[in-house]
Amino acid sequence: MTGKIWLQLIGIFCSLKDSSLEETGVLDCLDKEPDYRYLVYAGEFVYLQCSPSKLLIKAEKNTVEWFIQKPDRSLKEVKRRNDLIIHDNGALQISTLERNHSGTYLCRMKNLCRKMIVRVEGKENCSTYGPKSFFFRITEAPTTLSCPSLSCQGDIKRNVTWYRNETFANVTSKNRFSVKINNNDIQFSELFTEDVGIYTCDYVFHDSSEEEWIMRATIQVSVDIPDTEEPPKILSSSNGTEIPAELGKPTELKCRIHFGYERYFNPVIKWTVLHPEVKVEHSGGRNLCLNNTSGLTGYECLFTIKLDKVTKNDLLTIFQCYAQNSVGNVTTTFKLSKKESDVVFLIYILSASVALLLVTLICAGTVYVYWVEIVLLYRHYLSKDETIGDNKDFDAFISYATQTSEYGEEITDNFCNNYEDERFATQLLPSVLEDNYNYKLCILERDILPGGAYVEDIAKIIKRSRRAIFILSQRYITGPRLFELQAAITCSLEEQDSLKLILIKLKPFKEPESLPHIVKKALRALPTVSWKGDLNSKPAHTSKFWKRIRYYMPVKKCKENVRI
């Protein structure tokens, strides 16, 4: 229908029929027998449903039209007014019935047209008209609701049907266990805020001319919850909370607020953004709020503002969330704090890890380089003297290539070199280890009287020593004294802990093919200290060489002449 067309119809058979009304079939509908006759009372509130049992789907809602034919037979479309509302499901609401609301109503949707007669009566015939609205205190249950118009047609027993709201929903259902119909009354065993609504009661009544009418009345039910006496509470954060935000990235500020129950809930919710130079306000209202399921605890509201890109200016901005109800107001301020981007953070972590690794490496390196010194220091101050009570006579047995040997002819060839072995073993070694560090050495030529069997003597002496030191050179490795090394290796394998071998590589040498297998292996495995010094210069006993020798020597407490 276009425009607000008023039509004067002169009788049902009028020749001046509006073409659009004809198209919609409204005039045909006007011709038929009424589908319903409603008797209602002046001053009351009523719903008239177009499609009684079903809810209309949304697409159809705008296709519902209502028309009224007044007693003067004029037909006009019902337009929304203060007291006339057409609901989404097509129901027509008349908020306060007056006598001039009487008439023939036509409701048309898609392929359906309903005709109903509405008769508005005064309440003169009613001995009492029940209350038309009920305010239940939630604590008042169980309670009963009666159809208010029952007294108007005498005491005859009626069969009342109840509906709820404009949707004409069933009053009792599986989910509404607390609601029962009993003896035409609704009984609430418990009350919930969901029970709030407008209840319609219908019953059939025949008037004096035996015409059948549906007597329709409504009763408005409110469940009374006391209004809150508290101002709202901001739940999201406490005052002055800093929210980490990354520059250049979008961010959201959320303000979550709880409001206590109010019958007329009209909250004010605001975000005030106080930039250093400008102030911006965003306001919101009830649309931001959800009613809690029970309804008793009030409303929860969420107001979010979004920043597309956090700028430096935003970091100086104060964000203020304001919430107000009829009792009072509450404010919370937020600030953004700069959050390093993930990449920067990753770099921090990486650098920290690398630094830690470096420190560890440096420590490990230091320990590695100064290990000998550390052990010597430790022994000097903390360690026990391991020589006490082991029944050994010598700290070290010294084995070296002697000048006098069966291979005497070689002496002349290489006299100086061979002499060097002996000088090292008999002069330098004792001068440092005996004189400075109080070790007792066993040098065969010096300490053991000749006589006895050489082989047996060597075995005995080695067993009486804590260490055996071998001065290795080409001459030693090819000479007869190699036997001593071989014997010591065998002995140390037998004696385990009590004998340890130390190799001093005095000069580089080449291992002969004929070297016994056990010696070859020992040369690889045993601790070897290389001599790089000069025999003619003053013995430098603090040099690395002597530190290493002392490291392999037994721990012995003594009055040392030198400090490390």
Ligand X SMILES: *[C@@H]1O[C@H](CO)[C@@H](O)[C@H](O)[C@H]1NC(C)=O
Binding site for ligand X (CB under 6 A): 121, 125, 153, 208, 324, 328-329
Residues with Cβ within 8 Å of residue 412, at least 6 apart in sequence: none
- Helix, strand, coil percentages in the chain from 3-state DSSP, rounded to 5: 25, 30, 40
484 is catalytic: yes
- Torsion angles phi and psi, residue 531, rounded to 5: -90, 125
- In 232-298, DSSP assigns E strands to 233-234, 241-245, 251-259, 268-274, 279-284, 289-291
Give least dist CB 276 to ligand X, A: 22
Give least dist CB 163 to ligand X, A: 22
- Torsion angles phi and psi, residue 392, rounded to 5: -115, 150
- In 73-189, DSSP assigns E strands to 75-77, 84-86, 92-94, 103-109, 112-121, 133-137, 143-145, 161-164, 169-170, 179-182, 185-188
Q: What gap in Å lies between CA 353 and CA 264, rounded to an integer?
A: 61
Give least dist CB 265 to ligand X, A: 17
Q: CB count, 10 Å around CB of 563?
A: 6
In the complex with ligand X, the residue whose CB is nearer, 125 or 313, is 125
Closest to 201 (Cα-Cα) out of 213, 185, 190: 185
In the complex with ligand X, the residue whose CB is nearer, 131 or 328, is 328
Please return the burial class of 241, using the count of CB atoms within 10 Å of its CB with bins 0-12, 13-18 and 19+: middle
Q: In the numeric block, which tokens belong to residue 91?
A: 């129901």
Question: If you ran DSSP here, which 8-state letter would residue 178 be given?
Answer: T
Q: In the numeric block, which tokens belong to residue 134?
A: 């009920």
Tell me if 288 sits within 8 A of 305, measured CB to CB: no
Q: What gap in Å lies between CA 301 and CA 244, rounded to an integer?
A: 23
In the complex with ligand X, the residue whose CB is nearer, 190 or 207, is 207
Q: Choose, from 212, 484, 495, 513, the residue flagged as catalytic.
A: 484
Q: What gap in Å lies between CA 462 and CA 393, rounded to an integer?
A: 10
In the complex with ligand X, the residue whose CB is nearer, 125 or 266, is 125
Give least dist CB 145 to ligand X, A: 23
Give least dist CB 2 to ligand X, A: 40
Give least dist CB 102 to ligand X, A: 12
Q: What gap in Å lies between CA 321 and CA 386, rounded to an integer?
A: 79
Closest to 531 (Cα-Cα) out of 441, 399, 421: 421
Q: Euclidean distance between the first and final Cα of the chain, in Å?
A: 114
- At 185, is the secondary structure helix, strand, or coil? strand
Give least dist CB 194 to ligand X, A: 33
- Torsion angles phi and psi, residue 538, rounded to 5: -60, 135
Give least dist CB 331 to ligand X, A: 8
In the complex with ligand X, the residue whose CB is nearer, 330 or 555, is 330
Give least dist CB 99 to ligand X, A: 13
In the complex with ligand X, the residue whose CB is nearer, 328 or 365, is 328
Residues with Cβ within 8 Å of residue 79, at least 6 apart in sequence: 4
Task: Specify the residue for token string 């002046």.
Answer: 42
Catalytic residues, which ones? 484
